């Protein structure tokens, strides 16, 4: 991975690490699927878009991945810094199934909990961010 991308991931991991009770492998800022004007995510879900609980998460949301847990945080973006405000959710990583699809300049991914909750999120992959997003998704086991 490019050293600039490693540095970007390290900044996100460093921002959230003090708020987690295990070492963080990867972290990323995400938005609710479709909130950036995308319409193709419903195709990824075979037209099913109802019942997703992404609105239970702040938008945007900061997702962090540890060895055993996936965390969601409310945060305040400030240029290239991140002020973590509070944890809003956490899920055991073995209880989460991650599926993703890239379309154009976006990566859409679905966090499906074995309990039935689902969170549809998106991340831009333009300007060299594709490799960074793949590292993040790989950490979640996608």
Query: Tokens standing for 5?
Result: 């991308």
pLDDT value at residue 25: 96
Give residue 92's pLDDT.
97
pTM score of the predicted model:
0.84
Q: How far apart are CA 63 and CA 24, in angstroms?
A: 10
Confidence at residue 42, expressed as pLDDT on a 0 to 100 scale:
44
Give me the pLDDT at residue 95, please. 96
The predicted structure's pLDDT at residue 30: 92
pLDDT by residue for the chain (142 residues), tens only, comes to: 678 888 889 999 999 999 999 999 999 999 988 775 544 444 444 444 444 445 689 999 999 999 999 999 999 887 778 889 999 999 999 999 999 998 878 899 999 999 999 999 999 887 667 888 999 999 998 7
| Per-residue confidence (pLDDT) for residue 104, from 0 to 100 | 79
Partners of residue 138 on adjacent β-strands: none
Q: How is the chain classified by DSSP, letter by letter?
A: --HHHHHHHHHHHHHHGGG-SS-EEEEEEEEETTTTS--THHHHTTT--TT--GGGS-SSEEEEEESSEEEEEEEEEETTEEEEEEEEEEEEGGGEEEEEEEETTEEEEEEEETTS-EEEEEEE-TTTTHHHHHHHHHHTT-
**What is the number of structural domains in the chain?**
1
**Phi and psi dihedrals of 80, rounded to 5?**
-105, 25
| CATH number (domain holding residue 24) | 2.30.29.30
Domain that holds residue 54: 3-139
């Amino acid at each position: 991975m490019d050293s600039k991308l490693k540095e970007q991931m390290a900044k996100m991991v460093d921002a959230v690490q003090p708020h987690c009770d295990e070492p963080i492998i990867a972290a990323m800022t995400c938005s609710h699927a479709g909130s950036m004007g995308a319409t193709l995510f419903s195709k990824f879900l075979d037209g099913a878009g109802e019942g997703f609980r992404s609105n239970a998460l702040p938008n945007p949301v900061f997702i962090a991945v540890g060895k055993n847990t996936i965390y969601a945080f409310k945060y305040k973006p400030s240029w290239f810094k991140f002020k973590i405000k509070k944890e809003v959710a956490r899920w055991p990583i073995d209880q989460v199934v991650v599926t993703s699809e890239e379309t154009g300049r976006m990566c859409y991914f679905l966090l499906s909990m074995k309990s039935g909750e689902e969170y549809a999120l998106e991340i831009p992959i333009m300007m060299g961010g594709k490799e960074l997003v793949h590292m993040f998704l790989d950490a979640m086991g996608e």
